Chain A
């Protein structure tokens, strides 16, 4: 419409404030929903990508060449996973450590550090095979495997286990943390199962155990 000489100082007509408020609120809510919805793809784009998920897929490892007392490190989701073939001596020493440990039964502070099927004295499915994420529960360093049972500078009565170079946390041969060190919890046991006698797959629970 054309109005050549607008009467600008007309302030006397009635403004429907209710309708105005309602429309403002509705548009704002719908617009807000739109902005939130538009944010979702951006937030989701930070999820692990298909490539990361593919790289984090379960890892299968043959156990044939790991001798008793030896450790093999494999990468699963970029994490170092220790696979240790524990010798009978190392296994025998485990229960004796209990009094010196923070959480020997892994049911206290470490209750969430292993799947239910590995919540036992050896923290494993089969006693001789330890499968463990090799990350110190203190600040995330990778502890050294010190498997031999002989006096060490940090422990004259060493029964084999792990020693963290960063802040000197110590763990036994089941990744259970000793008392008096900075690390608060036992090291983590990942989901894993035995595909057959000599093959372990990391990243997948055994059938029937979720």
Chain B
């Protein structure tokens, strides 16, 4: 019966079964993946969650300046289970970035961006960029006061561009301030245009990955190692079929992740104001800027860079350039880093230190962007310090450290300063 069914399919779509085999049962992945390797599949899970809950939210959301805020409360109160669907979406948005940041850091740890995976990395960075646009526009939709002022400030970034800036902002916003037209176009982009791009990029990201094969914590290319394992005499000895071994392993990761997500959704959906900001419970008001205006947590590091760069020559465009540069440099990472060794386990001490400094600078910038320095600095240095100065001094040092990472990495690897450890021929551990 099952056979007849498969045959029926194979005759009509001969490509289906081989595709399944290529990406699942006969996709061989290194057997030594560690904890860091859960976040790719988790990102896919969150993407599915966002699309599913997003579709159901659009069914009751009203994309108009007069109706948006009310319709969110309608979803929260009048639509059966609407609160759950919305909290799954809002929590999913934040967890998407948690998972993606960790996924990207994995790439830095084990050199997953290096040859032959440059394309996988660049496609991944494009996903990150689209995700940021998607998140920003989604954040505007509830049309609370933070939504409004977030839209105002972020669109104003484009206003710093000399000559065309002012006209460009009016074109993006479709009005003189974020208004009904802005909300409408952001809605269209958020629910259909960007998700389509995102899906396409994810497919390409995975296709590019499965072409070259996964990297691993040792940075050893299992394809170049010995052949033959218990499943296939011609496949790499250090690799195992993705299905069932990594599907069941990822299932454990999914379980743990869902426990964390469910805990947030059911017991702390605003996450103390970090996932859903308090000021967004106030309807959009173009006359009153919220006292504590700052982006959502996942943008704060990049946003802090804007603040840290002073304006000169009569324009504030430098901060914006620096912010976009901080992302653009990540795109170029495969070419900035010319080191031959992939995994941090066998790289020179310089790389280890630089990576640590880079992570610290990113976290510090994030904290500064969240305005938490007002709270932390007095605890450390006493309450009579000049907060603005300290904020700027630390922020600028961290901005320099962030960019310094790339400069150092280029010099370190291009000038042959790096002293690496010998890389083993075979993968060393698995759990």
| Chains A and B touch each other in the complex, with CB atoms below 8 Å apart | yes
Residues in chain A within 8 A of chain B (CB atoms): 1-2, 4-6, 8-11, 27, 31, 40-42, 44-47, 49-51
Residues B85 and A42 in contact, CB atoms below 8 Å apart: yes
Interface residues in B1-44 by Cβ distance below 8 A to A read: 31
Residues B59 and A8 in contact, CB atoms below 8 Å apart: no
Residues B230 and A45 in contact, CB atoms below 8 Å apart: no
Q: A9-B229, A45-B59 in contact; A2/B78 too (CB < 8 A)? A: no
Residues B80 and A5 in contact, CB atoms below 8 Å apart: no
A9 to B228, CA, bound (A): 7
Q: A9-B228, A9-B229, A10-B230 in contact; A4/B426 too (CB < 8 A)? A: yes
Contacts of B82 in A (CB 8 A): 45, 49
Contacts of A5 in B (CB 8 A): 426
A49 to B81, CA, bound (A): 10
Residues A49 and B74 in contact, CB atoms below 8 Å apart: yes
Additional 19 contacts, C-beta under 8 A, given A2-B429, A47-B80: A2-B428, A4-B426, A4-B428, A5-B426, A6-B238, A8-B228, A8-B229, A8-B230, A8-B237, A9-B228, A41-B84, A41-B85, A45-B82, A49-B60, A49-B74, A49-B80, A50-B77, A51-B74, A51-B78
Interface membership of chain B positions 60-87, coded 1 if the CB is closer than 8 angstroms to chain A and 0 otherwise = 1000000000000010011111101100
Residues in chain B within 8 A of chain A (CB atoms): 31, 52, 56, 59-60, 74, 77-82, 84-85, 228-230, 237-238, 251, 424, 426, 428-429, 431
With CB as the reference atom, state the residue of chain A lying closest to B254.
Answer: A31
With CB as the reference atom, state the residue of chain A lying closest to B426.
Answer: A5
Residues A45 and B56 in contact, CB atoms below 8 Å apart: yes
Interface majority SS on A: helix, strand, loop or mixed? loop
A8 to B84, CA, bound (A): 47
A11 to B231, CA, bound (A): 9
Residues B78 and A44 in contact, CB atoms below 8 Å apart: no
A53 to B229, CA, bound (A): 63
Highest count of chain A CB atoms <10 Å: which of B56, B81, B426: B81
In the A-B complex, the 4 residue pairs with the smallest Cβ-Cβ separation, listed nearest first, are A41-B81, A50-B78, A49-B78, A8-B237
Contacts of A49 in B (CB 8 A): 60, 74, 78-80, 82
What are 14 residue pairs bridging A and B, where the CB atoms are less than 8 Å apart in the complex?
A1-B429, A4-B426, A6-B31, A6-B426, A8-B229, A8-B238, A31-B251, A41-B84, A42-B56, A42-B81, A45-B59, A45-B80, A49-B82, A50-B78
Contacts of B229 in A (CB 8 A): 8-9
A8 to B241, CA, bound (A): 13
A16 to B85, CA, bound (A): 41
Contacts of A51 in B (CB 8 A): 74, 78
Residues B230 and A9 in contact, CB atoms below 8 Å apart: yes
A60 to B81, CA, bound (A): 31
Contact of B230 among A11, A27, A50 (CB under 8 A): A11
A47 to B59, CA, bound (A): 12
A4 to B238, CA, bound (A): 11
Contacts of B80 in A (CB 8 A): 41, 44-45, 47, 49
Contacts of B74 in A (CB 8 A): 49, 51
Contacts of B60 in A (CB 8 A): 45, 49
Min CB distance B33 to A, Å, is 15
Residues A45 and B426 in contact, CB atoms below 8 Å apart: no
A49 to B56, CA, bound (A): 14
Min CB distance A169 to B, Å, is 35
With CB as the reference atom, state the residue of chain A lying closest to B258.
Answer: A34
Min CB distance B194 to A, Å, is 23
A6 to B228, CA, bound (A): 12
Contacts of A10 in B (CB 8 A): 230
Highest count of chain B CB atoms <10 Å: which of A2, A9, A49: A49
With CB as the reference atom, state the residue of chain B lying closest to A2.
Answer: B429
Q: A8-B230, A10-B230, A49-B74 in contact; A44/B81 too (CB < 8 A)? A: yes
A41 to B83, CA, bound (A): 10
Highest count of chain B CB atoms <10 Å: which of A6, A9, A44: A6
Contacts of B237 in A (CB 8 A): 6, 8
Contacts of B56 in A (CB 8 A): 42, 45
Contacts of B85 in A (CB 8 A): 41-42, 45
A44 to B60, CA, bound (A): 13
Contacts of A31 in B (CB 8 A): 251
Min CB distance A8 to B, Å, is 4
Min CB distance B352 to A, Å, is 21
A16 to B81, CA, bound (A): 43
With CB as the reference atom, state the residue of chain A lying closest to B235.
Answer: A8
Contacts of A4 in B (CB 8 A): 424, 426, 428
A27 to B248, CA, bound (A): 10
Min CB distance B423 to A, Å, is 14
Contacts of B59 in A (CB 8 A): 45-46
Min CB distance B73 to A, Å, is 11
Min CB distance A145 to B, Å, is 35
With CB as the reference atom, state the residue of chain A lying closest to B53.
Answer: A42
Min CB distance B69 to A, Å, is 15
Contacts of B228 in A (CB 8 A): 8-9
Min CB distance A34 to B, Å, is 9
Contacts of A42 in B (CB 8 A): 52, 56, 81, 85
A13 to B64, CA, bound (A): 65
A47 to B60, CA, bound (A): 12
Contacts of A6 in B (CB 8 A): 31, 237-238, 426
Contacts of B78 in A (CB 8 A): 49-51
Contacts of A2 in B (CB 8 A): 428-429
Min CB distance B129 to A, Å, is 30
A44 to B77, CA, bound (A): 14
Contacts of A8 in B (CB 8 A): 228-230, 237-238
A27 to B252, CA, bound (A): 11
A59 to B74, CA, bound (A): 23
Contacts of B429 in A (CB 8 A): 1-2
With CB as the reference atom, state the residue of chain A lying closest to B233.
Answer: A9
